[in-house]
Structures are given as C-alpha cells and as structure tokens.
Amino acid sequence: MIEPNLLELKKELHIELLKAAKEARSLGYNPTQFNRMLLEEGGYVVAKKLIVKTSSGFNNLWELNRLDLSTEAIILREKFRPLFTIEELELAKNRLHEFNYEIDNEKTNLPPLQPSGRIREFNSYSDILKANIIFEHIVNGLQHRELDEVILGLNSQNSKGFQSMGILHFLGIRADYKGLFEGKELQEVIGILSEQGKDYEEPVRLLSLLDNTALVNAINDDIEAEQVEEGRGIEGAVQYYYGKRYERDLNNRKLAIKKHGLDCYVCGFNFEDTYGDRGKDFIEVHHIQPLSTLEEAMEINPETDLVPLCANCHRMVHRKKDNVLSVEELKQIVKKSI
C-alpha cells in the first residue's frame, strides 16, 4: 500500500503551494495558470513538472523579492525533501542560487571531518554495508560495537567495534557525529551533507545508495493512478484473483524491482527504453505462486516469490485461469516464436 507518511506529505505540500499562491495574489501577482494546475493535477505532480524548467511565475516572484513563495523554495524545506530525488532537489537549489536566494538549511554547521588515512577496514566491505554503517551511526546513534554486530554480522565481543570504527574514521566521522542527525530522514541528511562541499562527497555517494525516493514515488504514483482508473481503494492483505498489476506491499514491490531490475523476465522488454520518462521505473510484478491459490496471508520473499513482467507477458501468464503458466513455460513459448 502507499506509505502513509509520503501520502500525508503530498497533501501537506499541496496545501503549502495553495498558501503560497494565495500569498502571491495578495502581493499583486495572480498565478492563474498555477492555480489551475494545482486544481487539475495536485501539488506533488505540479511541483515535479516545474522543477525541470524556470516558469514565468518564478520570475514574477523574483521581481517581488519573494522567492520564498516559489515551488523550488517550498520543496527544499526539510519536511518535503523525502518526496523528491537528489537530482530534483539539486535543480531546485541551483535555480535559487542563480537568483541569489539563500536556502535556510545550507546554514548547518557540522563538526570538521578528521580522516584517519587507514583504508583497510573501509576496503573490506561493500558500499551498501558502509552506507548503512554511516546512516545508523549519525542518525540512529548506534555505537561501533553495535554496528559490527547489527550491520556487519560480527561477534562484537571479538571485533570490539574496530571494523565499523575503521570505516567511519577513514571517512573522518568521529564521535561528535554519533546521533548528530537524530530524527532526520535520509534525504534531509544527504541534502545537508551535500551542501558541505568536496570533503563530504564520499559519505554523500554512499548514503545515496540507500535512497529509494525515486523508485518509491514512482510505485506510489502507479498505484494511485490505478486507483483513480478503477474508482476504488486498495484491497486487503490477501488477493483472491489472477493477474493484478501490483504487489500491494510497497516494500516487497520495491525490493523485487531492486533485486530483479526493470526488464521483463520473459521477453526483456523495458518500458523506459520504449516510452522514455513515461515508462521510467515501471514494470508489473508477478507472483510466482498465483495469489488465487493462497488460502491465507503469507510472507513474501521478493527475491524468490516475485518477478518483473511486462504487461503483455503478465497477461499471457494469466490468460487462462485454469492453466496459469510458469514464467519458464512462457519463456519457451516466446523462444519458439522468434
């Protein structure tokens, strides 16, 4: 299902954009087209569109010396950052910089990094593990021994936290960073570190590997679009039917896509290759065990229970309800037709 916090954030963003439009009107600028777009498409969709280009409204607000009312300034508020990708936030930030607008969250002063120069532990682990160590240390305040055990799977009585400590110290992240970003979302942390300059490029690169904002938003948008099309809400935990488009657990769908990618498992079709931005991050997800055969809810393993299929292959798998094909059977049919 759609993550409640993101859904609420979208609603709050819409309200803030409406407030900004109302304030602009009181200053003598009536953003008629902007208001119409908000009414027809909603604040989140409008914001995504306006990020990629400088609108006439932006220029009007600049002339009024009120860029704080611009869409760019609003989406850069810490609370709304989780709705947007790093690239989108950078576009908004750079546009405001061009017009000499100072962004509030750039004022954050951080303790200086103190790199150790010792690279052995840093080179011993994958980037994802290192990213999780950074996040859990600077956001959730886990100590070195806890990180060794929880993230690296080591016996902390033997490792004594030296592996995680070595990784953090190589990056210059010392004790004064422990829990420094407590309560902040990943996007907020990345945004703050990105503003600190070249010394923070490696921590930002690693933390960005944990950022699923674009994928989560794309999945949420797809699910919302289907709800509107079908005129109904999301079903319950167990689905007793064939061939539905979405795995309703957002996290399972996200993990399935991250594990298997966005190419159709049967024919290799990629929606973005054919449809460009319209098809970005889209693929249908297929339950290897048909949902209709389940008598009760079961725990889904995204790696073994779900595979990505294009719309055509997904329909062919489920076309005959008494003879649902396996993906391997469909692969053989496709191979014979080539």
Residue 44 to residue 173: CA distance in whole angstroms: 35
Residue 243 to residue 249: CA distance in whole angstroms: 16
Q: Say if residue 169 is in the same domain as residue 218.
A: no
Main-chain phi, psi angles of 307, to 5 degrees = -140, 150
Q: Say if residue 181 is in the same domain as residue 236.
A: no
Q: Say if residue 153 is in the same domain as residue 84.
A: no
Q: What is the pLDDT of residues 34-67, one digit of tens each?
A: 988 988 888 999 999 888 877 788 988 998 889 9
Q: 152, 203 in Cβ contact below 8 A? A: no
117 in any annotated domain: no
Q: Say if residue 202 is in the same domain as residue 226.
A: no
Domain boundary among 41, 76, 104: 104
181 in any annotated domain: yes
Eight-state DSSP code of residue 307: E
Q: What is the pLDDT of residues 158-176, one digit of tens each?
A: 999 999 999 999 999 999 9
Domain boundary among 208, 240, 256: 208
Q: Say if residue 312 is in the same domain as residue 260.
A: yes
Q: Residue 179: give the domain boundaries.
A: 122-208
Domain boundary among 182, 208, 234: 208
The domain tally of the chain equals 3
Q: Say if residue 164 is in the same domain as residue 220.
A: no
Q: Say if residue 284 is in the same domain as residue 199.
A: no
pTM of the model: 0.46
328 in any annotated domain: yes
Residues with Cβ within 8 Å of residue 69, at least 6 apart in sequence: 20, 23, 24, 61
Q: Say if residue 237 is in the same domain as residue 195.
A: no
Q: What is the mean pLDDT of each run of 10 residues along the chain (338 residues)?
A: 66 92 90 89 90 84 90 88 84 87 66 93 93 94 94 93 97 94 85 85 91 67 55 38 41 77 92 89 80 50 84 84 82 86
